[in-house]
Structure formats: structure tokens, C-alpha cells
Chain A
């Protein structure tokens, strides 16, 4: 690709630390960084954070695994005496897992927005919003990894999916779409929060949605008023769609609804995040 940046010739940028006196008339300027480079560097940064932040990694991997073990071995026998509960519960656990993992995005975003890191980026010739892209993509990678671990443990304790290759690909695609949507939502929460601590608090409520869905018990078993909510909230069709893809239950309209919900969440969260970011970094 031809480089059309106007002032990027290498001779143009003497290394100051090691240079002699700068002669008059010679100016030293910073280059505008090309877009993918900044994004790539910030994705790498967020991934390093994900690996090193033991607490949030535990939250993303260990908690869903423990939850699954608990539901399968403690409650599972009562919920389904035939022993097949693990097949029922895995999709719900996967979404819960994605929620826990994505929640830490609000914390990372809020931290960067309040720590001075964002101001450094804002004074550099680059697009500061690359910071958010970095967090979102890293969250996607981290949570897909965590999902893989959860599914592997599930198979080890008796999960027997019937999905063929195509259904597996659709499953992974839908999970990734959901993670992307919910990560953007958490990123927006991180931008809206005044501090990292409050970001954590706001996001908490979202983590309860899977419990009031078809994740752990059929919604018909809930009281009528709750059924109404559980049937019409986004998590239920996503779980029903995953369940259908993985273990061959009835798909019905849940596939389209699932994709539709993810798209709606992604668009709304994306617009909200973009507005908040603009307001936060706007020159006052």
C-alpha cells in the first residue's frame, strides 16, 4: 500500500534522545499513526491486561465452571432425575459466562477514562476511540476462550451435543455475536460511570438476566407474571437457539429472534458508547 502520509520520511524524525542540537529551521514532528496500527497495539494491550488480571480471568472462567458443576451435580438431580440436566444447562452457562467476562470491560474502560491514560491518547495524533475497540476485541477473544473452557469441562462431565459442523459454526457465531453486543453494552456502562467502582455496580444487574430466562429451568414453571418477562427478554431466545443448535431441540422462531436481539443490543450500545465517548473526550 503506498504511503501517502505527507511527512513521514524517516529522515524527518531525528531521534531526540540521542541527537545533537537541532538546527534552526528544522522541526521535529510526530507522525499521525495509521489506524490499524493503533487498534492492533491497543488490542494487544487489553489482551495482556486480560491475561494478567487474575481476578477477572477467574471471574470469566472459574465462576461459570463452578456454576455449571453446582447446577449439574447439586440441583441437577432434582430438576431432571434422568441425569440429562447437563445437556439442558450448558447454553445458559455459556451465556452467563459471557456476561461475567464482558462485565470486566466496563471496569477497564472506566479505569482508562479516569486514570489519565485517555488524556495521553487525546494529546497524540491518533484516534483515541481505538482504545474502546481494543477493549472490545480483547473481551471477545477472552470470552470465546472462556466459553471453550466451559464447553470442554461440560463435555468432561457428560454434556453430549448432537451438533454437526455447520451447527457448531452457527453456535460459535451466535455466541460471538452475543459477546460482542454485551461487551459494547458494558463498554458504554464504563463510559457512563463516574468511576471504576460505580461501573462495576451498574453492570451487576445485567448479570442476573440469565437466571430469569430459560437458562436453568423452563420458563413455563415460573409464575405467570414472571413467565411474561422471561419469555420476552433477549436471553431466552438466544439460549433456546443455542440449545436447538447444540442438542437438537425445537428451533422455532428463536434463531431469528436471537440474532435480532443481538443486533439491536449491539446497535443501541454502539450508538450510546459513541455518544458517551464523544462527550467524554470533547474539548470543553
Chain B
């Protein structure tokens, strides 16, 4: 039997794993230690320190040009850092890129799908390139197609698919051979709401299955919806790191706001969010503007983002 055949049912039952080095078992799934990178005189990443735990979904959030893609490129062996070290599952990506490549899969910003081939052919091609036998590659692509609802597009030329479908296929291509660490570079940029939600659902599912997910995004709601922890990248520096709640807490407390007929905020008071707190905050306003509309606001990630990062020109990462 083909030793690379993973498509059959026998392969579905996990059995004896090969012996793994201690460094692969302990420690974070991904670590950046003092990573810096410059292009010419422009410092793109400055002394980045970051650890992602096994099984965690981690979002690196930043504006265009903040250095997100450079971080991904260094992580995925496409680029070399000027200094510092990056490890994936304990393997130094610079010292042993070949070994590191066996431990992650990445979906880049531009959908790296082959538009002349059909969905099925794309999946089988990637399976073959990942060392599966033709048969295994075929059965694996069927599995992935049903998992990512690509079944009805298996015969379609990819050039004819929508952007959302292409992204989903792109993700499926990264899952052809399962790995511990999945890296997604702006996975939903340019997608419509429905496609974004579908992709989010898949990320959650992968995470629930134990996959570590490292993603970059410029969408705050995406980081908020998916990530256990968020790193805020601002002009190559890590400006903030923590859970969404922690980051919000550092920006400020909840407020109660009063609006005029046009919706503009005419007054805003801090509150602890309790009935007593809110009514105490509103009492002075009850007489002056009794019919005004009231809303309760929590700091959003937008506030976090603005508080932690600085205004800058947009430029390419």
C-alpha cells in the first residue's frame, strides 16, 4: 500500500505518533523573538516579540503598511529577518526552513489558485505536490470539498468562480495535508459579509479541532470575532497585546451617551453599566433633555485601534 496514502479510513484513526522532540511538545506553537526587518532604510518590523500558544487563534491586527505581511513572510520562510528568531512548533524557520515547512500551511493574500484548472484539479494537484498518491489526493479532495461546501463546484473552472469561492478553495488547498499551524494572511479582505462569516466558521472549526491559527487582518471585528488574543502592529512595532477584553479595558470604561434628534452625541458620561450607575449618570439630563435618545457604549476595537496606533500614510506592507 502506498505509504503516503492518508485518504483511506484506516488513516482516520490516530494511532502511534512518531517520537517527537521535547521542543515540539513544550513551548508555544509560534514564537517571534526580537525580530527586526528593514527594507533599505525603512524599518518594517522592529524588535517583534510574540508567542502564540498551541491551539490558540491569534490575530495580528494593523493598518496597511504596519508590517503584517512582512511578519507572515518571515514566518513562512519567504523572507529572512535581519535579526531575531522565529520558531514554528519549536523549529527555527531560518536554521531549518525545510523542516519548518512541514509544520505549517499558509493561505496568502492573493488567492494562489490555478484558474485554468477545475476546483477538483486544484485540490488533487496540491495533494500530489504534498506527496499523496493520486488516489489519496482524490479522496482527500472530496473530503475537503464537502467540508468547505465546494462539492457543486468541483468540475468548474476556477477562473469562473467568485472571489469568495476562490478564497474558500485557497483555504481548502492549505488543508490538503493537515498541519498543526495554519497561517492566514488577510483571509477575508475583499469578501462580502456572507463569505466572511463562512470563512470565520471554518476557522473556528479548525481551532476547535486543535489547529493553531495565526491570522492577520485589518478588520477589527474579525479579530474580535475570532481571536483569543490580538497583537496590534503599528509601524513595525507591537503596540498592544492581549485578549480583546483586556485591550478594550485599557482604552476606557463603558459610557452612556445622549443624542439629539439628528443622532449626534450631545453628552457622554462614564458608567459602570449597572442600573444605578446609568440612572445616576442620566438624572442630571432628565430635566434638560427629557426626550433625547440614550445609548450605552462599550469601547470598540476601533477605539482600541485608534488609541494604540498612530495616524500614518497607507503604503504597501
Query: Which residues of chain A have a CB within 8 Å of any CB of chain B?
Result: 3, 7-34, 37-38, 40-42, 44-45, 48-49, 52-53, 115-117, 119-126, 283-284
What residue in chain B is nearest A33 (Cβ atoms)?
A: B131
A16, chain B: closest CB distance, angstroms? 3
In the complex, are the beta carbons of B180 and A28 less than 8 A apart? yes
Map CB proximity to A onto B1-19 as digits: 1 under 8 Å, 0 otherwise.
1011111001110111110
A15 in contact with B25 given A33-B131, A115-B110, A120-B108 (CB within 8 Å) = no
Interface-forming stretch among B98-106, B247-255, B283-291? B98-106
A27 in contact with B112 given A3-B3, A21-B209, A125-B101 (CB within 8 Å) = no
Which chain A residues border B221 with CB–CB below 8 Å?
none
B211 within 8 A of A: yes
In the complex, are the beta carbons of A284 and B80 less than 8 A apart? yes
A19 in contact with B12 given A25-B20, A37-B131 (CB within 8 Å) = yes
B33 within 8 A of A: no
Per the bound structure, the CA–CA distance linking A11 and B209 in Å amounts to: 18
Which chain A residues border B161 with CB–CB below 8 Å?
none
Chain A residues touching B, majority SS = loop
Map CB proximity to A onto B214-238 as digits: 1 under 8 Å, 0 otherwise.
0000000000000000000000000
Which chain B residues border A30 with CB–CB below 8 Å?
101-103, 105, 130-131, 177, 179
Which chain B residues border A28 with CB–CB below 8 Å?
178-180
- Please list the 4 inter-chain residue pairs (A to B) with the smallest Cβ-Cβ separation, ordered nearest first: A16-B178, A41-B128, A22-B210, A33-B131
Map CB proximity to A onto B86-109 as digits: 1 under 8 Å, 0 otherwise.
000100000001100111111011
Contact of A119 among B112, B180, B210 (CB under 8 A): B112
Per the bound structure, the CA–CA distance linking A53 and B117 in Å amounts to: 11
Which chain B residues border A31 with CB–CB below 8 Å?
4, 102, 130-131, 177
In the complex, are the beta carbons of A11 and B178 less than 8 A apart? no
Which chain A residues border B186 with CB–CB below 8 Å?
none
In the complex, are the beta carbons of A49 and B116 less than 8 A apart? yes
Per the bound structure, the CA–CA distance linking A21 and B103 in Å amounts to: 17
B47, chain A: closest CB distance, angstroms? 20
17 contacting pairs across A/B (C-beta < 8 A): A9-B3, A13-B6, A14-B178, A15-B143, A16-B209, A18-B143, A19-B209, A26-B20, A27-B180, A28-B178, A31-B131, A34-B131, A44-B125, A52-B116, A121-B129, A122-B78, A125-B101
B305, chain A: closest CB distance, angstroms? 28
In the complex, are the beta carbons of B177 and A13 less than 8 A apart? yes
In the complex, are the beta carbons of B116 and A16 less than 8 A apart? no
Most buried by A among B108, B144, B177, B208: B177
A123, chain B: closest CB distance, angstroms? 5
B177, chain A: closest CB distance, angstroms? 5
B24 within 8 A of A: yes
In the complex, are the beta carbons of A32 and B76 less than 8 A apart? no
B56 within 8 A of A: no
Query: Which residues of chain B have a CB within 8 Å of any CB of chain A?
Result: 1, 3-7, 10-12, 14-18, 20, 24-25, 54, 76-80, 89, 97-98, 101-106, 108-112, 114, 116-117, 121, 125, 128-131, 140, 143-144, 147, 157, 173, 175, 177-180, 206, 208-211
A14 in contact with B11 given A27-B17, A30-B131 (CB within 8 Å) = yes
What residue in chain A is nearest B136 (Cβ atoms)?
A: A10
A283, chain B: closest CB distance, angstroms? 4
Most buried by B among A27, A31, A42: A27
Which chain A residues border B54 with CB–CB below 8 Å?
24
Most buried by A among B17, B25, B114, B211: B17
What residue in chain A is nearest B144 (Cβ atoms)?
A: A17
Contact of A11 among B14, B76, B128 (CB under 8 A): B14
Which chain A residues border B12 with CB–CB below 8 Å?
14-15, 18-19
Please give 9 more A-B residue pairs, beta carbons under 8 A apart, in addition to A11-B15, A123-B104. A8-B4, A9-B3, A13-B11, A14-B12, A29-B103, A117-B114, A120-B112, A283-B77, A283-B78
Which chain B residues border A26 with CB–CB below 8 Å?
14, 17, 20
Per the bound structure, the CA–CA distance linking A23 and B210 in Å amounts to: 8
In the complex, are the beta carbons of A10 and B14 less than 8 A apart? no
Per the bound structure, the CA–CA distance linking A191 and B3 in Å amounts to: 36
Which chain B residues border A115 with CB–CB below 8 Å?
110, 112
In the complex, are the beta carbons of B129 and A33 less than 8 A apart? yes
Per the bound structure, the CA–CA distance linking A283 and B80 in Å amounts to: 6
B146, chain A: closest CB distance, angstroms? 9
A126 in contact with B102 given A28-B180, A120-B112 (CB within 8 Å) = no
In the complex, are the beta carbons of B131 and A32 less than 8 A apart? yes
A98, chain B: closest CB distance, angstroms? 23
Which chain B residues border A124 with CB–CB below 8 Å?
101, 129-130
What residue in chain B is nearest A21 (Cβ atoms)?
A: B210
Which chain B residues border A48 with CB–CB below 8 Å?
116-117, 121
A122 in contact with B77 given A22-B210, A27-B180, A31-B131 (CB within 8 Å) = yes
A59, chain B: closest CB distance, angstroms? 16
Which chain B residues border A37 with CB–CB below 8 Å?
128-129, 131
Which chain A residues border B105 with CB–CB below 8 Å?
30, 123
Contact of B18 among A12, A19, A126 (CB under 8 A): A12
In the complex, are the beta carbons of B102 and A123 less than 8 A apart? no
Which chain B residues border A11 with CB–CB below 8 Å?
11, 14-17
What residue in chain B is nearest A51 (Cβ atoms)?
A: B116
A163, chain B: closest CB distance, angstroms? 37
